[in-house]
Structure formats: structure tokens, C-alpha cells
Amino acid sequence: MTEQGQFRTRVLIVEDDAFTRALVGESLANAGMVVKTAENYAVATEILNEYEPNVVVSDLDLGPGPSGADLLTRVHEERPWVGLVARTAHGSATLAVGSGHELPEGVVYVVKSRMGSISDVQQAIESAITHAQVRHDHEAVDAEPLIELSQAQAEILHLMAEGYSNAGIAERRGTSMRAAESLVQRTMQAMGIEADSQLNSRVRAVRMWQQGRIVVRKG
């Protein structure tokens, strides 16, 4: 959570060119975003097992193996609340992905040659996140109950979403490690999350927030 109490946007950048990957990643990090990067489909899917981004920004041509379109399609199917940005040198999506293939609904399409600055990427990210949220709100989790957290528990969730460890949470809140561990445990319990060997509990917690299932108790 930032000093203003807002989430920092979490981004996964997938780009096979090392220079471009580093440049875009550093620029977005300097703009206040939490950034992770991957060079191909396989590495990106590994990262997604432990990291829950707000948006995935992927080049469509990732070299040998599955393409960026394959990755964005998978993310769309498994995480419909995540924004999607496709970067390519082609002027049209049809040319980029080939005939007979389509990008998922709601992908924000960015042509590299038309990008004047990193602010163009930021605008694409904001647009993709907004579109995904609107789409997900319409599909929303009617069958899933809302979960009420206290203000302190919501703050813990925010810090976990930004990747803070228990030690980092303790330092940020000015408390002992034991107190931080207790708060994290109580937050997980309030969300009905238990240790799961198949899926990181923190990723599950952040995912539930992204699904719009968390409300903060007033008072």
C-alpha cells in the first residue's frame, strides 16, 4: 500500500527481447508499479503460480514455443479479472496472431511503432484493467459470498498484495514479527483460507480481493 493508502498496480511483462524487457520493466517500476518480468510463456506461467498481477503485458511474438496470444488466452480463461495488453510490431491483430486465431475479448492492442513514450504503455495498462474489472463485475461472482475484513486486516491484505513478507509487514507497521505473523494468520482465517500445498495462500487471498469479494468493515 502506498502512502496514500492505495494499491500499487502489479504488472507482469512478457517480452523475449532482454533490452526491451528491462527498459519497459524499469520504466513502469519508476512510475510506481510492482513489476515482474518473463522472457517466454513457460517462465510467465511459473511466475503466475506465485504472483497475482492486475495486468499482463505481453509481446505476441515470444520466439519458439507458445506465443503471447496463447499466454493471454490462458490468463483470460483462468483469471478473467486480470487486464491484458498485447504488444506487437504488426498493424493489425489478424496479422499478429495469424488467420484462424483471435485474441481474447478485451485485450488492449498496442502497436510498438506507434508508442511515443512509456506513458502510452501506462494508458494501455489502465484501460486494460478498467475493461477487465467491468467485464468481471458483469460476470461476477454471484454465488460467492462477500468477506468482511477489519481495517487492519484490509491493510495486511494490501501489504501482502504488494509482496511484503511477514518481516516486511512488521517493519512497515512498526510492530514485532510475532504481531505481524498473528495479524496475517487472523486475516487468512477471516478469509477462510488455510495452508494449501497446491496454491500459495497469499496468492489466493489477493485473488479473492481482485474478484471483488472483500469489503472493509466500518468503525
Count of all residues that appear for the chain in the document:
219
Mean pLDDT score of the chain, rounded to an integer? Answer: 81
Residues 109 and 202: their CA atoms lie apart, in Å, by 31
pLDDT over 70 at 95, yes or no: no
Q: How confident is the model at residue 104 (pLDDT cuts 50, 70, 90)?
A: confident
Each residue's pLDDT tens digit, 136-169: 655 555 556 778 888 888 888 888 877 788 888 9
List domains and CATH numbers for the chain.
10-139 (3.40.50.2300), 147-216 (1.10.10.10)
Query: What confidence tens digit (pLDDT) does each residue in 37-55 have?
Result: 999 999 999 999 888 899 9
CA dist., res. 128 & res. 135, Å (int): 11
Is the pLDDT at 94 greater than 80? The verdict is no
Please give the Cα distance from 104 to 110 (Å, whole number).
14
From the list 16, 128, 4, 110, the residue with the least C-alpha distance to 62 is 16
